Amino acid sequence: MIEVKKVVVVYAESTPNPSALKFVANRFLLDEGSVEYLSVEEAKNCPLAAQLFAFDGVASVFIASNFITITKKPSYDWQDLMPLFREFIKVFLETGEPIFTGPMWQKADEKIEKTVTTEKIESKIVEMLDEYIKPAVEGDGGAIHFKSFEDGKVTLVLKGACSGCPSSLVTLKGGIERLLKQFIPEVQEVVAEEQ
């Protein structure tokens, strides 16, 4: 029997953050959730991210279902970096090497991946984020995670292209805060936790 090797396609998409590009693959990279690495030391359970940090100019690597968002350092230009990263990711995926090593629990940051809560208001906030906000944010190469709800204030964590994006404050206040206030009267403010 002839073994057919699946062709890996990787293409780059711009994000609202000029420092971040989203590299989309025609295969799944992880089953659920997302993970962000801010240094090569953090990427010890992810050979793909660790090898991306070997390139000059990489500030962070964010991995979600079928895409990788790379944030570059300010002194580098996407014209030079984009073709290198696209080809590297394609070749890495074609080798079939594991993207992650070690236990699955290492992938998610348990401090902020809070999807099940006992509080009714928190559950409603998480439900609204999952249904209305997360798909749009992932489309822009990022992720948003619920962290807490205290005294009317919702604290979120922004990752990937959203972290450090100039338009994230507009999205946070003009979009997310407005939506949550409209449907959940207890919400008075939405803020992002600084990373």
Q: How far is CA 56 from CA 81, 171, 184, in A?
A: 9, 30, 45
Name residues whose C-beta falls within 8 Å of residue 67's C-beta, 6 or more positions apart in sequence: 22, 23, 24, 25, 29, 138, 141
User: Is domain 10-106 given the CATH code 3.30.1370.70 in the classification?
Assistant: yes
What CA–CA distance (Å, rounded) separates 66 from 80? Answer: 23
- Pick the most confident of 1-15, 65-79, 102-116, 148-162: 65-79
CA of residue 17 relative to chain centroid, distance: 13
Helix (H, G, I), strand (E, B) or coil at 53: helix
Is the separation of the CB atoms in 140 and 16 below 8 Å? Answer: yes
Dig out the tokens for 80 from the structure.
């030079």
User: Which residue has better confidence, 68 or 162?
Assistant: 68
Residue 168, H or E segment: helix 168-170
Mean pLDDT of 145-154: 89
Mean pLDDT of 143-151: 88
What CA–CA distance (Å, rounded) separates 56 from 98? Answer: 23
Nearest to 51 by CA among 95, 18, 15, 19: 95
pTM exceeding the 0.75 threshold for the entire prediction: no
Domain ranges of the chain: 10-106, 120-192
Tokens 């025609």 sit at which residue?
A: 26
- What does the pLDDT read at residue 5? 65
Tell me which CATH code domain 120-192 carries: 3.30.300.130
Over residues 8-66, the pLDDT tens digits come to 899 999 988 999 999 999 988 887 778 889 999 988 889 999 999 999 999 999 998 89
Over residues 83-122, the pLDDT tens digits come to 999 999 999 999 888 899 865 444 445 444 444 444 788 8
Amino acid at 188: Q
Cβ neighbours of 82 (radius 10 Å): 16
